[in-house]
Amino acid sequence: MAEVVGNPKVVRGRARPRGGSRKSKTGPRPFGALAWALPPVAALVLFFLYPLALVVRQSLRPDTGGTSLQAYADVFASEAFRHALWTTVWLALAATAGCLLLGFLLALVIAFVPFPGARAVARFIDVYLSFPSFLITLALLFLYGGTGVVGSFQFLTTPWGVLLAEVTYFTPFVMRPLLAAFAQLDTAQLEAASSLGARAPRIVRRVILPEALPALAAGGSLVLVLCLNEFGIVLFTGAKGVTTLPMLVYGKAILESDYPGACAVAVVNVLISVGLYGLYRVVSRRAGA
Amino acid sequence: MLVHSRKARWAAWAVFLVLFLPLFALPLLVILGASFATHWSGALPSGPTLDHYRSATRGEALQALTTSLVTAVAASLLALTAGTWAALAGAALRKRHRRVLDALFVLPVAVPSVVVGLAVLVAFSQPPLLLNGTRWIVITAHTVLVTAFAHQSVSAALTRLDPAYEQAAASLGARPAYILFRVRLPLLLPSLTAAAGLCFALSMGELSATMMLYPPDWTPLPVLVYAATDRGALFTGSAVAVVLMAATLLVLFAVSRVRTRASYR
């Protein structure tokens, strides 16, 4: 790529004499660089943004023809949608809080009270991230399902079952950035604090927690967005009582073939998720993560 | 060391085990145990059998395994190409343009994958591009979903890349294409393989978008696991899930071998 070589940032120190044939390459070439960026952006527009735009268009066009906001009015008026919206939001918030607490505790032990095999545990967490989320619900079905090991009370069909599965699956997403942040923490700080008489809780609160905040913010907001969008965990519980927004989209589109309604719910869901994700990017950039 | 007394250390480890084992190790052990069993009404699974594996490695399930593998390989290769291209092109852009490009390419992470599935279904069920009912619609959706991850990890690696190598090559008169293929891409190879592994794993386990648009003759493994559990065949479902995990891990292991060989170069 010519632009890369021609990038003036590459030339460091003293300005070099520009000679002969190289002269034409040393200036910035914004048009060439933009042209190179064009093909992937075009592919993204064709396969992602254009379909999303069609979803918005379909949500404004009921089957009867014409353009109307009828689908939105119907959706907002329906009890099921308001219920799903509330369930989605509180489940995601609660799961994020649980993941942050649990992830912080576990990462703390792995990083600062190391035991034989702590490395293996850290690697296990990496592997864990590569498994699909619905496996957790599948395992919980054996433990708490109809003829479960622990009991046959209908725990899994309540939001609490979904909450447990989400906390289990998403905690490693918090632990990974935390472990990376802890690895960069200078242990001399801990030693100094402890030699000055600080006890472990105080060291955690005054030394470790401030260092971990960017990682916690980054991991927590990512988990929040992923929880808002989670589908597999909820689908596998088979619960009629727990309906989140993605479940509602699936139900309306595939089970009821109500495409305008599904698209309206989808637009609301996208707005919530993208808004929160944008917030996450801004916060994590501020925090320097 | 955060805690110095032996007692406190043991207490911390005990808390860790009490939280870690039931939450993270138990689910995987449960699935593994159930896949070999016919009943599970007591504390432990009973009635050891290999029948579930026999049915999970032939016929419909075997076809689903190949479907998943083909989809995941195709989607990760496409996503890796698009993501790497975008990351390389983005690195040459000015900061303002690069921000826009980065924001565009992370957007699929923020959009719920069910909605990505719905969008792809809506868009490609009508002309000009009619993909509905073919395998390409599944591959397209998976590619869109995993491209964001490929782009993110490659562009993160690009910012860590030492520019001295390409400067040295350029100062010795190497053409831009030569620098790209002989200097930058080989240096990026470890993160490229890592990104490929990530994309592959994500695509193998993808369920949400797939549920929206899979055609009957292109059923990936997660859908089969769901179908099995939905009709109450939990034990068969877990055997299929174990096959899914094993296939993912095998490919990830192979990919990580490539990485270690490349990083010694």
pLDDT digits (tens, 9 = 90+) for B237-250: 888 899 999 999 99
Q: How far is the C-alpha of A244 from the C-alpha of A84, rounded, in Å?
A: 5
Task: Identify whether A7 is part of a domain.
Answer: no
A226 part of a folded domain:
yes
Tell me the pLDDT band of B78, cut-offs 50, 70 and 90: very high
From chain B, the residues in CB contact with A109 under 8 A are: 12-13, 15-16
* B chain contacts of residue A229, beta-carbon cutoff 8 Å: 111-114, 208
Residue A166 lies in a domain: yes
How many domains is chain A partitioned into structurally?
1
pLDDT one-digit tens code per residue, A14-40: 444 444 444 344 444 557 778 888 888
Q: The CATH number of the domain where A199 resides is what? A: 1.10.3720.10
Give A167-195 pLDDT, tens digit per residue: 989 999 898 888 888 888 888 888 888 88
CA dihedral A37, A40, A43, A48 (to 10 degrees): -100
Q: Which of B141, B137, B86, B136 is nearest to B113 (CA)?
A: B141
Interface touch B122/A263, C-beta < 8 Å: yes
Q: Rounded to whole angstroms, how far apart are CA atoms B13 and A242? A: 36
pLDDT tier for residue A149 given thresholds of 50, 70 and 90: low
**Considering only CB atoms, which chain A residues are within 8 Å of B43?**
149
A36 in contact with B, Cβ within 8 Å: yes
Integer Cα distance of A257 and A274 in angstroms: 26
- Domain annotation covers residue A104: yes
Q: Between residues B169 and B50, which one has the greater pLDDT?
A: B169
CA A255: distance to chain centroid? Answer: 27
3-state secondary structure chain A: CHHHHHCHHHCCCCCCCCCHHHHHHCCCCHHHHHHHHHHHHHHHHHHHHHHHHHHHHHHCCCCCCCCCCHHHHHHHHCHHHHHHHHHHHHHHHHHHHHHHHHHHHHHHHHHHCCCCCHHHHHHHHHHHCCCCCHHHHHHHHHHHCCCCCCCCCCCCCCHHHHHHHHHHHHHHHHHHHHHHHHHCCCHHHHHHHHHCCCCHHHHHHHHHHHHHHHHHHHHHHHHHHHHHCCCHHHHHHCCCCCCCHHHHHHHHHHHCCCHHHHHHHHHHHHHHHHHHHHHHHHHHHHCCC
Q: What average pLDDT does the segment A132-139 reach? A: 87
| Model confidence pLDDT, tens digit, residues A216-256 | 888 888 899 889 888 888 888 876 678 888 888 888 888 88
**Between these two residues, A77 and B75, which has the higher pLDDT value?**
B75
Mutate to test the interface with B, among A34, A52, A166 (most CBs of B within 10 A): A52
Q: How confident is the model at residue B144 (pLDDT cuts 50, 70, 90)?
A: very high
B39 strand-pairing partners: B46
More confident residue, A140 or A92: A92
The answer to the question of residue A98 being in a domain is: yes
Residue A125's domain comprises 86-243
More confident residue, B67 or B54: B67
Residue B201 tokens read as: 């794993």
Residue B83's pLDDT band, with cuts at 50, 70 and 90, is very high
Q: Which of A131, A134, A277 lies nearest to residue B110, judging by beta carbons?
A: A277
CA distance B201 to chain A (A): 5
CB within 8 Å: B144 and A2:
no
CB contact under 8 A, A51 and B119: yes
* Set of chain A residues whose Cβ sits within 8 Å of the Cβ of B88: 1, 4, 36
Question: Which amino acid, residue A256?
Answer: E
pLDDT higher than 50, residue B228: yes
pLDDT of residue A271: 92
Q: State chain A's mean pLDDT as an integer.
A: 79
**CB neighbour list of residue B208: distance below 8 Å, 6 or more residues apart:** A229, A231, A232, A235, A246, A250, B112, B113, B114, B117
Is the pLDDT confidence value at A8 over 50?
Answer: no
- Look at B144 and A47 and tell me if their CB atoms are within 8 Å: yes
User: Residue B46, SS3?
Assistant: strand
Partnered with residue B46 across adjacent β-strands are: B39
Q: Looking at the domain assignment, is residue A261 inside a domain?
A: no
Task: Find the range with the poorest average confidence among A100-109, A274-283, B142-151.
Answer: A274-283
Asked, as a colleague might, if the bond just before B128 is cis with ω within 30 of 0, I would say yes
Instruction: Identify all chain B residues contacting A259, using CB atoms and an 8 Å cutoff.
Output: 122
| pLDDT beyond 60 at B184 | yes
Residues of chain B found within 8 Å of residue A17, distances taken between Cβ atoms: none
**Cβ–Cβ of A274/B107 closer than 8 Å?**
yes
Mean of all residue pLDDT scores within chain B = 85
Q: Is residue A167 part of a domain?
A: yes
Q: What domains lie within chain B, and their CATH numbers?
A: 52-93+104-263 (1.10.3720.10)
In this complex, do A36 and B89 lie within 8 Å of one another by their Cβ atoms? yes
pLDDT score at A17: 47
**Token pair for B49:** 């059998």
B144:A48 CB<8 A: yes
Give domain status of residue A71, yes or no: no
Instruction: Determine the Cα–Cα distance for residues A190 and B100; give it in Å rounded to an integer.
Output: 41
* The pLDDT value given to residue A192: 86
Q: Provide the pLDDT for residue B263.
A: 58
A51-72 pLDDT, tens per residue?
999 888 888 877 676 677 777 8
Residue A281 above 90 pLDDT? no
Between B127 and A269, where is the model more confident? Answer: A269
* B27 contacts A249? CB cut-off 8 A: no
